[in-house]
Amino acid sequence: MTYDVVVVGAGPAGSTIAKIVAERGFKVLVLEKYTLDREKPCGGAISNRVVEHFRIPEKAFARKCTGIFFCSPKNRTAVIGKRGKIRFVMRSVFDKVLCQMAMDKGAEFFEKSLVNEPLIKNGKVIGVKAKIEGKTKTIKGKLVIAADGTPSTMAKKLELYSGRPNTIGFCFQYQMELSNELIEQRIGSNMEIYFGSQWIPFGYTWIFPKNNVVTVGCGTWIDVIQQRKISLKEQLDHFIKKHPVASTKLEGAKVLHSQAHLIGFPGVLKDNVAKGCLIVGDASGTVSIVNSEGIWYSMKSGEAAGISAAETLEKGDVSANTIRTNYYKNLDQKVKDDFRFAAKIRNFINSDSKQQRTVVSIIKDQWWANLIESIIDGTCPLKKGFKQVRSRPDKMLKAYALYR
C-alpha cells in the first residue's frame, strides 16, 4: 500500500493533518493503534478557540463551561468567568468527530493498527511497518508524520526521544458517575482547579463536569514523583476523601474507571525531524506548562504539518530540510510565542505560596481575575499576558505585599 502521506496516530493532531492533506487532493492514511472512539485519558477541557478556528460541530461537546473555580492551598475559593469560552469533552466523542471530519474530505483511517517501526531506505523514512488485523504490513508514503503521543514510538525508533523526567508529566484520573442534578447543585458547569502540595506537589488537581460524569484527576512532573516517591492514585484517593471543599462535592460519586497517561512537554524530543519524518502534536511536546492545555496546541501543530505536507508534495521536494523549514514557517507565531513565554507565566504559580497569592489576587482584584481568566480560556496569548503583568508593577507589588 502506498500513500502520499502516512500519519501515525488519530488524535487531534493526526486528524487535523489528514483533513488538510485530503482537502488539498492528496492520498492520506491515518494509522491508529486503538479504535477511533477510544476514551483517551484526558481532562477534557478545550478553549473556545478550538471550536471557532477549526469549526467543530456542537455534537462533539459534553458541556459548556460557564466559570472557572479555584481553591487555594489554604482553601480560599474564587469563581471567575461567565463568558463560556471553554468546553468540556469526552475524548471518545470529540476525537471521533475530528476523524469523521477528515474522512468526509477523503482521508482513510485504519483502526487497531499498531505501528512498530519506520521503514527506512537510503537514510530516509519511506513508510512504516504496522500490525494490522494480526499481520505485519508495510505501508509506504512519500511523507510520514508521527502524531502518536508520549512516549512516541516513532520518535524512539528514530532516536529523537529524550525522555528527561523534567519534560514529562504524569496524570491519573477517574471518570466518576454523578447525576446531572447533583453536578448542577454542587459544581455547576465550572472548571474546578485545586492547588496545594498536600494534594499534589508542583501540579494541580481538577474536577471537570461532563454529562452525568465528572472527570477527577491530578498531575505533576515525573521527576517530582520519582524524588518524592509518591503514588498519584493514593494522592487522588486522599483528595477525594479528605479535601475539605472537594470531598463534599464528590460525595456519592461512583468510580466508573481509572485512567493514567504521560504528557510530553517542550524538551521531550531532541528534535522533531529525522530522516524526513516529522513528529508533531503531543508526541513533540506541544503542551503548555502553564495549565497543561494540549488539544489546541496539538491541532495547531497538526495544521502546520498538514499545510507543510501539501506544500512539499506540490513542489515535489520532500527533503528533511524542506519539511522542517515549511513546518516552522506555517506554525502560528502566537503558538511559538506561547511556548516562549510559558515558563515566565508558570513561575507565578510554581509553589504553594504563589498559588495562594494567585487565588487571593483573583478574589481581591478584578484586574487579576480578568487577566487570569483570559489566559486560561485562550483569549489572551501568553506573550500579551506577560506584557500586561510587566506593565503594572503596582499590581505585582500589591499582590506580593498584601495577598496571602
Q: Which helix H or strand E contains 226, and what residues bound it?
A: helix 222-228
Average pLDDT over residues 17-25: 98
**205: which DSSP letter?**
E
Look at strands 63-65 and 28-31 and give their pairing.
unpaired
- pLDDT for 133 equals 86
55 located within any domain: no
State the pLDDT confidence band at 40, using cuts at 50, 70 and 90.
confident
pLDDT per residue as tens digits for the range 368-379: 999 999 999 999
pLDDT at residue 5 is higher than 90: yes
Q: Into how many domains does the chain fold?
A: 3
pLDDT at residue 85 is higher than 80: yes
Average pLDDT over residues 75-96: 91
pLDDT at residue 396 is higher than 90: no
pLDDT per residue as tens digits for the range 262-321: 999 999 999 999 998 999 999 999 999 998 999 999 999 999 999 999 999 999 888 888
pLDDT per residue as tens digits for the range 200-232: 999 999 999 999 999 999 999 999 999 999 999
Look at strands 108-110 and 86-88 and give their pairing.
unpaired
pLDDT at residue 259 is higher than 80: yes
- pLDDT for 247 equals 98
Same domain for 233 and 119: no
Same domain for 146 and 12: yes
pLDDT per residue as tens digits for the range 95-150: 999 999 999 999 999 999 999 999 999 999 999 999 998 899 999 999 999 999 99
State the pLDDT confidence band at 81, using cuts at 50, 70 and 90.
confident
- pLDDT for 335 equals 94
Rounded percentage of the chain residues whose pLDDT exceeds 90:
90
279 located within any domain: yes
Same domain for 248 and 391: no
For 175, half-sphere exposure in the C-beta direction (CA atoms, 13 angstrom radius) is: 18
393 located within any domain: yes
- pLDDT for 163 equals 87
Range of the domain at 278: 2-44+90-162+268-331
Mark which of 212, 246, 264 sits at the end of a domain.
Answer: 264
- pLDDT for 399 equals 84
Same domain for 398 and 354: yes
Same domain for 136 and 23: yes
Same domain for 251 and 208: yes
52 located within any domain: no
Does residue 56 contact residue 16 with C-beta atoms inside 8 Å?
A: no
57 located within any domain: no
Same domain for 157 and 144: yes
Angle between helices 12-23 and 295-315 (to 10 degrees): 30
Same domain for 309 and 389: no
Mark which of 264, 283, 316 sits at the end of a domain.
Answer: 264
340 located within any domain: no
CATH number at residue 206: 3.30.9.10
pLDDT at residue 196 is higher than 90: yes
Same domain for 33 and 151: yes
Same domain for 236 and 109: no
pTM: 0.95
Mark which of 264, 286, 321 sits at the end of a domain.
Answer: 264
Does residue 68 contact residue 79 with C-beta atoms inside 8 Å?
A: yes
Rounded percentage of the chain residues whose pLDDT exceeds 70:
99
CA-to-CA distance for 238 and 246, rounded, in angstroms?
11
Average pLDDT over residues 13-28: 98
Does residue 207 contact residue 58 with C-beta atoms inside 8 Å?
A: no
Across the chain, mean pLDDT equals 94
CATH number at residue 156: 3.50.50.60
Same domain for 172 and 36: no
Enumerate residues 6+ apart whose C-beta is below 8 A from 75. 244, 245
Same domain for 317 and 354: no
State the pLDDT confidence band at 403, using cuts at 50, 70 and 90.
confident
For 145, half-sphere exposure in the C-beta direction (CA atoms, 13 angstrom radius) is: 35
397 located within any domain: yes
339 located within any domain: no
- pLDDT for 338 equals 95
